[in-house]
Amino acid sequence: MAEALLARGNWLETEPGVERDGTRNGKAYRHKHSPTSLWLVEGRLLDLDDADRRWASASSVGSTDEKPSREQREPLALPSDVVFLSKHVAKSGVPALCVHPIGVPNPSSSKEAGGKPGRCPPPSPRLAGCLRELGRAAREAGLDSSFDTTLEVTHHGPWLETPAMFVEIGSSEEHWGRADAAEVWANVLTRMLGLDGSPAGDINWRDLDPAARAERSAFVCIGGGHYAPKPGDLARRSGSYVGHMLASYALDFGRGGGEGTWREAVTEAVRSTRAAFPGAGGGVAGGVGALVDKKAFRARERAALLEHLGTLGVEHRFKSSEC
């Protein structure tokens, strides 16, 4: 994906990756016509905690041809949001182009998931719009019949404070190097980030004025499988906005009468999604509602979940068509 973006030109190589401790990590570029930077880092992205602050602590030095001194370097501001370009791995091997928010909602998750157990960075406010644009770009490229375009639930790190999401090509080595799939993502990112100067439409919540925000709601999605079919139905609808998505497996309702940790996961997903969609309104109280997969829970679990959502001031819906 990064190579496909760079091949389109209008990028200047810079020298971030020089962090406060003086170490260098990868290469970086900034776009000539958009406030967008591209950072190519080494290592596992799931372990890149505080990527936003690490980026801000790097040096803003312009072109590598200028070779400014360390005294001339000025800290960068925190980015407004972060998009991780990544590979997707699935045992099924099904070709897929995926997008998902990041975080580790279950407080008892293993370190393998990266991030901070029980914590979720704000979801990118571009998430649903990105899926819509991805579907359009895949159809135009004729890849919609060979690649699934899909959401994934919130399921891994890294941790950062800035709104973020992963965009991925999968699901195996034979797909990762597909130039046509990378071109689809380059088309999506070019429009979504305004790299060609074209308007992004309703892709990004931040592009909406206060009146438009007040007419729209965002939804946390709770229950169901990893590839989030019901949230996907909602996200594909024009003008919709989706935040964190919690699969059934991320919600521990306890065993043998135990309470489990599901309340903490739901509370964190709601808190984080609210932070990503300031000024939301629409047809739900507080602007952020919950799309609940009714069939994903036993009656007792569902009742407890709805009661907890009520204590958080979150209205629920059982169907995406009701959101």
* pLDDT 10s digits, 87-145: 988 888 899 999 999 999 999 888 889 999 999 999 999 999 999 999 999 999 999 99
pLDDT tens profile 130-187:
999 999 999 999 999 999 999 999 999 999 999 999 999 998 888 889 999 999 999 9
- Binned at pLDDT 50, 70 and 90, residue 256 comes out as low
In the 3-class helix/strand/coil scheme, how is the chain assigned residue by residue? Answer: CHHHHHCCCCEEEECCCCCCCCCCCCEEEEECCCCCEEEECCCCHHHCCCHHHHHHHCEECCCCCCCCCHHHCEECCCCCCEEEEEEEECCCCCCEEEEEECCECCCCCCHHHCCCCCECCCECCCHHHHHHHHHHHHHHHCCCCCCEEEECCCCCCCCCCCCEEEEEEEECHHHHCCHHHHHHHHHHHHHHCCCCCCCCCCCCHHHCCHHHHHCCCEEEEECCCCCCHHHHHHHCCCCCEEEEEECHHHCCCCCCCCCCCHHHHHHHHHHHHHHHCCCCCCCCCCCEEEEECHHHCCHHHHHHHHHHHHHCCCCEECCHHHC
Sorted by where each begins, the domain ranges of the chain are 2-73+80-322
Please check the confidence at residue 59 and state whether its pLDDT lies above 80: no
Q: Does domain 2-73+80-322 have CATH number 3.40.630.50?
A: yes
